[in-house]
């Protein structure tokens, strides 16, 4: 009986008919599970807390209630599935997302939700393409590749995006850090404290280096909240993930520990960062001739070969055609 059913399914959907049916059933079960989880009753204690915090009365009260409403309440229901069980893995993922510029407490959940949603969407697109859109008969290897390939691409796309964001943000911080040190030196020499200096630099860098400004803003807010200064600076070095910032944090901590002048430390370190930026620019300039040589060879040698060798090749071919029939 099972063989007869399998033959009927293969006759309608092809040799992978059973796999397609199992995949569709899996997707349907996932969607049903998601729908059931969305319809879960709300925790009464959470409802009481929300009602107690919500303002009452009038149009202003309704608007304030909308503003205070948790926009990610749906993701809270999926926290068991959208967050790693391992605390170390969760902390590592939070650090990676913060280095990419995503400071929200729901960033991890949104990341894993994006992976799951894009993976399922890509799988559906692959199944539809191989069984509905494509009319050319494909081999088994191509069918598997075109069916599972879009799902794999959708699953890995958020990771690729985060990696690009982290690299771009680190580069932006490296470029703007020497200017930030110069501003800090000016503020310190003008008589401002370190807290005021960081707050002022965060405001001044907003237009040119937003990523570095965000990091200084976080440091300023944490210091205002009463957090230990050493811990705040160490957290900044860890969040940025840039060696220059980590060295700067070490300089500030040692200066505070040994009682030396912060202005002197900033002056020396700012000069070093400026020299380092000049060295990076010179390194990039020295790489240009090699890159231009490769591009020049790729873009000029083939046309030259066509211009120089093409007429001779055509002449030889015509001579061969003319002498061939006569002989």
Q: Where are the domains of the chain?
A: 10-40+74-169, 171-275
Q: In whole angstroms, what is the distance from residue 140 CA to residue 107 CA?
A: 39
Residue 327: the pLDDT is 52
Residue 41: the pLDDT is 57
Residue 115: closest CA among 93, 130, 134, 99: 93
Tokens for 196, please give them. 């005021």
Residue 156: the pLDDT is 93
Q: Indicate the range of 22-36, 44-58, 108-122, 193-207 predicted with least confidence.
A: 44-58
Residue 215 has pLDDT above 50, yes or no: yes
Q: In whole angstroms, what is the distance from residue 133 CA to residue 33 CA?
A: 29
Which pLDDT band, with edges at 50, 70 and 90, does 47 fall under? low
What DSSP string runs through 15-30?
Answer: TTHHHHHHHHHHHHHH
What DSSP string runs through 175-233?
Answer: HHHHHHHHHHHHHHHTT--HHHHHHHHHHHTTTT-HHHHHHHHHHHHHHHTT--HHHHH
Q: What is the mean pLDDT of residues 293-319?
A: 82
Asked if 113 and 78 touch (Cβ cutoff 8 Å), the reply is yes
Residue 75: the pLDDT is 61
Q: In whole angstroms, what is the distance from residue 103 CA to residue 222 CA?
A: 14
pLDDT (tens digit, 9 = 90+) per residue, 233-292? 888 888 888 888 888 888 888 887 888 788 888 888 888 888 888 898 888 888 888 888
Q: What is the mean pLDDT of residues 171-191?
A: 89
Flag whether the pTM goes above 0.95.
no
Q: What does the DSSP 8-state code read for residue 71?
A: T
Cα angle 163, 165, 166 (rounded to 5 degrees) comes to: 65
pLDDT (tens digit, 9 = 90+) per residue, 140-165? 778 888 888 888 999 999 999 999 99
Residue 62: the pLDDT is 43
Q: What percent of the chain has pLDDT over 90?
A: 6
Residue 178: closest CA among 236, 238, 247: 247
Asked if 93 and 158 touch (Cβ cutoff 8 Å), the reply is no
Name the CA radius of gyration of the chain, rounded: 31
Residue 173: closest CA among 223, 241, 93: 241
Q: What is the mean pLDDT of residues 44-54?
A: 57
Q: Other C-beta atoms within 10 Å of 80: how many?
A: 8
Residue 252: closest CA among 278, 229, 235: 229
Asked if 211 and 173 touch (Cβ cutoff 8 Å), the reply is yes
């Amino acid at each position: 009986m099972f063989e007869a059913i399998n033959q009927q399914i293969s006759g309608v959907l092809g040799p992978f008919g059973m796999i397609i049916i199992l995949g569709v059933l899996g997707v349907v079960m996932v969607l049903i599970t998601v729908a059931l989880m969305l319809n879960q009753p709300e925790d009464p204690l959470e409802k009481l807390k929300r009602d107690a915090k919500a303002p009452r009365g009038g149009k202003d009260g309704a608007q304030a209630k909308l503003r205070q409403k948790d926009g990610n309440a749906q993701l809270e229901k999926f926290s068991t599935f959208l967050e790693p069980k391992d605390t170390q893995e969760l902390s590592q993922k939070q650090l990676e997302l913060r280095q990419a510029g995503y400071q929200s407490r729901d960033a991890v959940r949104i990341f894993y939700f994006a992976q799951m949603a894009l993976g399922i969407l890509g799988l559906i697109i692959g199944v539809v393409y191989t069984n509905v859109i494509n009319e050319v008969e494909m081999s088994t290897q191509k069918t598997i590749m075109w069916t599972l390939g879009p799902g794999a691409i959708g699953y890995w796309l958020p990771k690729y995006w985060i990696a690009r964001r982290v690299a771009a943000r680190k580069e932006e911080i490296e470029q703007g850090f020497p200017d930030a040190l110069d501003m800090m030196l000016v503020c310190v020499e003008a008589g401002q404290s370190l807290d005021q200096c960081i707050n002022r630099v965060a405001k001044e860098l907003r237009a040119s280096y937003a990523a570095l400004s965000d990091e200084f803003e976080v440091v300023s807010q944490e210091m205002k909240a009463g957090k230990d200064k050493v811990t705040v600076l160490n957290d900044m070095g860890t969040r940025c993930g840039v060696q220059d910032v980590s060295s700067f944090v070490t300089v500030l901590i040692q200066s505070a520990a040994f009682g030396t002048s912060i202005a002197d430390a900033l002056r020396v370190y700012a000069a070093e960062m400026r020299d380092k930026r000049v060295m990076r620019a010179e390194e990039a300039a020295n790489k240009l001739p090699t890159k231009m040589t490769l591009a020049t060879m790729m873009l000029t040698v083939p046309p030259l070969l066509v211009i120089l060798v093409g007429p001779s090749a055509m002449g030889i071919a015509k001579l061969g055609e003319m002498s061939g029939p006569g002989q």
